[in-house]
Structure 1
Amino acid sequence: MQPVWFPQDLAEDQSTKQVNKEPPATNLNYEPIQTAGFANWIGQDLDEFEKAYGQPEESMTSGFSFTINRYEVDDGLLEVNTKDKRIKSIKYLGENNDDIEPFKFGMTMDELSKITMVYPNFTIDYHDQSIDLELEEDDMNYRPLIAFDNGSFAILFFEQTQGESRLYAVDYLDSETLVKLAPYTVANDEVPYYKQERDVHWNKIDQFKKRQTSRLIQLLRQKNDKPAFSLDSQLQASSEDLLNTFDKDKEDILMTERLQELQRFEESEPGTFILNDTEMSDLLAELKDPSVSGHLELPVYDPSFSVLTLYSTPVLKEQLMRADDASLAVAFSKENVLILWKELESQAEESESH
């Protein structure tokens, strides 16, 4: 057999190919932008904030180690969460763009891209722990996260407006609030989380959060030129009964796998648990009223934050902004919330006639 001689430049070709196969770096670290607007107040003393914005209309402990302070704003929302009188987060929905510089209400994602990149990954240093957050596609399109150079963050809430998403609200928050709310996928196995306080009046807290939720939903409908939801005392009683039923008889509503999933959330796994359509139908079955639909979610520590998130989720926004006349009811049980909608009888009868 004769030896086969390969070209002498083969080694160079292989070396070149090997270099070309190395993937480009994709772990792009986020870059903070200059602190502006409400971001300057994060970590500051509440008394100083109130010198500029006045006293709150209402204040209530959340039951989870922070206090919610609501301030009067014309046709808008201004809520400040505090812990030991230090500002932890500021939620704002209004008309004054100076408070949210360099952003502007109504701006598009294209306009945002001229200010900063929208990053898919964030590593948050919290005490002695590094926590990795991952933004999914919907997060980047409707709830992007922005970092400031003073260590604070902002979640920008975008809504679908005539096929294009536009900024309608902003939540400024510190790293602890961001990590504990867990609005994005958390890659870590163990993360800090909110714990229920002892010796608090949960009935008062639940009533306060119910009002918060209803008020913000009605405000968003007003801004969309939709009629306000009517309030139905019978539907309200049903919402409280159904939430109590779920608390006591989860096994009758959830399959084994979903029950185990819920238990992981209740044992501090970050994220949100939401009843799917089948589970919600099972929960509503005892009402025997097809005109009632609902949304059950947990854990909800900050009701206004949760409503803003629902509104920036296209499928859920349709329910919040439904065109037909309907009644609204909201029930809270600590960190669990149930929202019910009931189609008005005139609408239901018309649907049946067709």
Structure 2
Amino acid sequence: MISLVSLPSDYPDHPSTNQKLSPPSKSSFKVPGKGIHTLMGKSAKQVSTMLGKPERVDPTKFGYRWFIYGRESENYLQVGIDVKTDRVTTIYALGKQLKLNPFVIGEASQKIYEKVPIEGDLSFNYNGTKINFELNEEDMMIRPLMKFGKDWAQLNFDHVSDRLIGVRYMTTDVLAAQHPYSMTYQGQLPKTANLNDKEWIAVNQAEDQEIFDISNVMRLRFNQPILKWNEQAHQAAYQHSKEMQTRNYFSHDSKWSGDLKARLDRRKIYFQTAGENIAARYSDAAAVSLGWLNSIDHRKNLLNDAFTELGVGSYKNYYTQDFVTPLNP
């Protein structure tokens, strides 16, 4: 069996909610004195002293490098260290064992909305540029944004369970650079990095590993077995992402390289079952993984207990996951 599903350009439609929320005002909300967020602004040396040596250090296209901790566990954490200042400018906290005061991974969205100020329109100034984000209904359900002291917190929700899946913290600089929502602005946005081919390869290889790690943490969260890395599936996924980007199309089926079965056959991957997720134009591995989790068909692949191995292939801002269960030798 081959499961072929495609990712729409935006988040999928979700049931509307008519919750009557009474969140606290901005002025009444106080950032807690303890929690993972207190790493913001710390030096790389301080982070290593507090958390230990990272399991991996990954480059990004946003001017920071990720320190990766807690792979294949509910302590999974990515700490973003600015390459110029050597200080923490962003955090991606996914593991439910992490202390995220006032948030709790797995907490119902209703409870969170009652204790923190969440708004659909947010404005701020960045180096003289006025930026206004307009969050739509899907944004508010899946990834609402809030001011968190002098920084920002993006809450990542699983819309199926309606519970918190993770939290992203970021400085205004990082938020302006990624601008992950529909927006209007007056002035100039931060310039995007102009990566050379070698730098893109390094960033994409890092994103492959991050998507793999995040996928396994999500499987742990929903009591599914961890997947093994499949190098040949990775190569098939990478070639598909590259072809979609260079030939400017978005589909599981290609008039040049065929469907998923043809691509896996070409890599001599003989399987009992296989499936594929694709995506494009997301900011990074964490963002695309959240998108897949919140798309019903992609979620089925991501959390399918029939799959045993996974290969991930990224090319610039195109992403492919190829799930397989190989035939027994």
RMSD: 3.1
> Normalising by structure 2, what TM-score?
0.75
Structure having the higher helix fraction is 1
- Deviation of residue 115 (structure 1)? 0.8
Q: For residues 185 and 214 of structure 1, what CA distance do their matches in structure 2 show? A: 28
1:96 to 1:240, Cα distance in 2 relative to 1, 3 A: closer
Match of 2:52 in 1: 54
Q: For residues 69 and 228 of structure 2, what CA distance do their matches in structure 1 show? A: 24
Equivalent of 1:31 in 26, 29, 45: 26
Match of 2:154 in 1: 155
Q: For residues 199 and 297 of structure 1, what CA distance do their matches in structure 2 show? A: 19
Q: Is 1:294 equivalent to 2:277 in the alignment?
A: yes
Match of 1:169 in 2: 166
Match of 1:181 in 2: 178
1:86 to 1:118, Cα distance in 2 relative to 1, 3 A: same
Equivalent of 1:191 in 169, 176, 189: 189
Match of 1:139 in 2: 139
Match of 2:87 in 1: 86
1:102 to 1:283, Cα distance in 2 relative to 1, 3 A: farther
Equivalent residue pairs, number: 288
Higher gyration radius (CA): 1
Deviations 1:128-187, CA, capped at 9 Å, x for gaps? 0111111111211121212122x2011111114xx5411121111111212222222123
2:38 alignment partner, SS class = helix
Q: Report if aligned partners of 2:62, 2:174 keep a CA contact under 8 Å in 1.
A: no
- Deviation of residue 34 (structure 1)? 1.8
- Deviation of residue 221 (structure 1)? 0.8
Equivalent of 2:41 in 30, 38, 43: 43
1:225 alignment partner, SS class = coil
The correspondence of residues 324-339 of structure 1 with structure 2, limited to 5 A, is: 324-325=306-307, 327-339=309-321
Q: Report if aligned partners of 2:69, 2:75 keep a CA contact under 8 Å in 1.
A: no
Higher relative contact order structure (alpha carbons within 8 Å, sequence separation ≥ 6): 2
Q: For residues 47 and 183 of structure 1, what CA distance do their matches in structure 2 show? A: 30
Match of 2:64 in 1: 66
Q: For residues 161 and 260 of structure 2, what CA distance do their matches in structure 1 show? A: 39
- Deviation of residue 245 (structure 1)? 1.9
Letter in 1 for 2:281: L
> Normalising by structure 1, what TM-score?
0.71
Q: Which runs of 5+ in 2 are unaligned?
A: 1-24, 263-273
- Deviation of residue 94 (structure 1)? 2.2
Q: For residues 36 and 147 of structure 2, what CA distance do their matches in structure 1 show? A: 13
* Same amino acid, percent of matched pairs: 17
Match of 2:323 in 1: 341
Letter in 1 for 2:111: E
